[in-house]
Amino acid sequence: MKIGIVGCVGRMGRMLINAIDQTPDAELAGGTERAGSPAVGEDPAMVAGLSASGLIIGDDPRALFEIADAVVDFTAPEATAAHAKLALETGTALVPGTTGLSAQQQAAIDAAAEKVAVVQAANYSVGVNLLLGLTEQAAAILGDDYDIEILEMHHRHKVDAPSGTALALGQAAASGRQVDLDKVAQRVRDGHTGERNVGDIGFATLRGGMVVGDHTVMFAADQERIELTHKASDRAVFAKGAIRAALWTKGQAPGLYSMRDVLGFS
């Protein structure tokens, strides 16, 4: 299966290229970078530290979408929305890992999913997706006597907060309790806040160092506390999961899927 990588020179882009190289049945279709990037014209495999592939990094994503069976996108919200439109127009499966999307940008992905298979996840780690399932199950079992708090920490360079994974965990908890996350989420606490509201789902964000990604969901009651935690030590786990998702799209009907579908958790 030919898999293209947009934004192939970034940290995740290079890891995705390596993941393709290590994955049976996967072949690098090519990679792109923004117009004017010094990487344009280079060999994407060599940029990722591999042997020459004979391919050249381009600056025209449409050309990549036209030759790839699936494209993996860990870029930026505006670019991801544009790539979703290309997926729709070319009939190419899409695996978007970009977080922090606006409603309008998400709508572009939803539109693409009406015509092609799209696997969208806040986090492509197998372990994180198991955590999502456990969080939903625990929230369904434990009542409002258990306060739910979600703590996440990432490296100092991350630009959005809370992380997409933290928000996905909040949504899993809300789904377990059959409530609307937007109505119970508490994302900021500062100053004299008063007592915690019963049923709130709280978020706390930490940034520092080069932490790849730590997430903990706490269920705190008066007599006990349950904590579910996942810690990623290498971003390669996200790349491997994303390539697994890309391979899974082969033969799938159009639709918006998640890693839970890919892993058979749904």
Q: Which residues are catalytic?
A: 154, 158
CA distance 52 to 249: 27
Give one DSSP letter per residue of 28-61, joined into a string.
Answer: EEEEE--TT-TTTTS-HHHHTTS---S---BS-H
CA distance 125 to 121: 9
Crossing angle for the helix pair 236-248 and 126-141, to the nearest 10 degrees:
90
Preceding omega of 24 cis (within 30 degrees of 0): no
Cβ atoms of 69 and 3 within 8 Å: the answer is yes
CA distance 228 to 236: 22
Phi and psi dihedrals of 149, rounded to 5? -130, 135
Cβ atoms of 108 and 43 within 8 Å: the answer is no
Q: Which of 56, 52, 59, 50 is nearest to 29 (CA)?
A: 56
